[in-house]
Amino acid sequence: MKLINHLILRITVGFTVVMLFWGAVYFFLQMKEIHDGNDEGLTNLKQEFIAKANAVGGFVENMERETPLNLIVKEISREEAEKMVENFSTTTVYFATELEKEEVRMLTTAFRCEQNGKFFQLQFFTSTVESDDLIKNMLYLLLGLWVTLSLTIIIISKIIIFRANKPFYELLDKLKNFRLDTNKIFDFPQTEIKEYAQLNRSVEELLKKNIDIFTEQKQFIENTSHELQTPLAIVIAKLEMLLEKYQNNEYLSTEIAAALNTLNRMKRLNSNLLLLSKIKNNLFTDIAEVDLQRVLEGVVADFEEIIACKNITVVSTYSISATVRMNRDLAHILLTNLVKNAVAHNRTGGQIIISGKANSITIANSGTTAATNVFSRYQRDANDENSSGLGLSIVKSIADLYPVDINYHFENGLHIFKITF
């Protein structure tokens, strides 16, 4: 749920509860006020009635007989009169004129007429506000008020909250598109709100720190592999001198050759690592229109002897050649690594099937089982101790630099790599 809706929903719910409570309180206070007014009138009426009844003979009987509109007089016994407590009540009385029962406020009391010493029950009543109607009207009013206020709140909140939060949403948007490896921090949205300014500053600091760490990390890998080149050069040169010197000593020459072999592996590993970090550090900036199919044909030709030696059949079908805007050297490295992979992980007498289309190139080679995580670093065949395990991750890093997509799947005994551009 969006922050703005979250806030509005909660404001509206809280607001409704307050409105309902306030409505109820208002209703009871209003009713009480009305009843108080009525009750006072009824009490006055009663006092006037009693005064008259005590002064004028036959007044009560008259009234009992005539039944005026707002009074019911009934003779009762002394015991009943003594038990009776004066009270006010809200009840209904049938009005012949209106053909229905109406809500009335009623004062019920007993009195002894001094004229004849008889006891009477007196019921004075007066029409009052019908609570049903009042409730109904109040509900309508409240509902109207509620709708109006809610709408006002929603609209105002939307405008105010949205405006006030604009820098926040802008920041979110920019963070979403932020990439650590671009090394560039975006411009922060302008804001006069203190908290957002603070947020901007904190985010900026955090990003700067992360970029620094990231750059340092990248630089570290590059520098390390770079620094390793000279010691490697020394060891390799020295061992080659020794090999030359002791070539007639079978034991020494074999051992030195084995050491050299390992060093050569290390050399390749190191140069691949260096290449990988150079790609990630975006050091290949020259971009040109590269015809991948032409490059691929050249790469396959480079591998001609190895392919022949492994007795591998290469089947190539090219349709229209297409160009991709990328670095020429990287294009070459990308395809070399893929072809190298197709040769290395092939069996003797296997196949390499290359097909070039307008916007994709597929390189497939014979294999036995599907491989997993092919593009991860140092992911390699257990029995392939000489592979650096970096070839395909170099491929992936290069593809990531450009709008080039590379994916792998295994189908019908073929490892299939597809480059889409």
Partner 1 sequence: MKILIIEDEPALMRTMEEFLLQEKYVVEKASNYGAAVEKALMYDYDCILLDISLPGGSGLKILDEMKREGKAGNVIIVSAKNSLDDKILGLNLGADDYLCKPFHLSELHARIKAVLRRKQTDGKDILTFGNSAVNFKERQLTVNCEPLKLNRKEFDMLLFFVTNKNRLISKEALAEHVWGDNIDLADNFDFVYSQVKNLRKKLKECGSDIVVGNVYGIGYKLVI
If you count them, how many residues does the chain have?
421
Coil, strand or helix at 79 = helix
Question: CA-to-CA distance for 27 and 21, rounded, in angstroms?
Answer: 10
Q: Interior CA angle at 343 toward 283 and 293, to 5°?
A: 55
Instruction: Give how many residues touch partner 1 by CB under 8 A.
Output: 49
Closer to partner 1 by CB, 199 or 232: give it.
232
Q: Please list, in sequence order, all residues whose beta carbon lies within 8 angstroms of the beta carbon of residue 306, skipping any fewer than 6 positions away.
A: 343
Check residue 240 for interaction with partner 1 (CB under 8 A).
Answer: yes
Considering the complex, what minimum distance in angstroms separates the CB of residue 405 from partner 1? 23
CA distance between the termini of the chain: 38
- The footprint of partner 1 on residues 68-127 (CB under 8 A) is none
* Of 5-13, 211-219, 318-326, 385-393: span binding partner 1 (CB under 8 A): 385-393
Of 129, 141, 108, nearest to 32 (Cα)? 129
| 366 is a site residue for partner 1 (CB under 8 A) | no
**Smallest distance from partner 1 to CB 302, Å:** 7
Binding status of residue 302 toward partner 1 by CB under 8 A: yes
Supply the minimum distance, in Å, between the C-beta of residue 344 and partner 1. 6
**What is the widest separation between alpha-carbon atoms in the chain?**
159
131 counts as binding partner 1 under rule CB under 8 A: no
List of residues 6+ apart from 196 with CB closer than 8 A: 167, 168, 171, 189
Q: Tell me how far, at minimum, the Cβ of 399 lies from partner 1, in Å.
A: 18
Q: Specify whether the CB–CB gap between 270 and 228 falls below 8 A.
A: yes
Structure tokens at 153: 């709140």
Tokens coding 94:
């049938």
- State the nearest-atom distance from the C-beta of 322 to partner 1, in Å: 23
The verdict on 271 binding partner 1 (CB under 8 A) reads yes
Judged by beta carbon, residue 137 or residue 264, the one nearer partner 1 is 264
**Residues at the site binding partner 1, with contacts judged by CB under 8 A:** 226-227, 229-230, 232-238, 240-241, 243-244, 247, 253-254, 257, 260-261, 263-265, 267-268, 271, 274-275, 283-284, 302-303, 305-306, 308-310, 329, 333, 336, 340, 343-344, 384-388
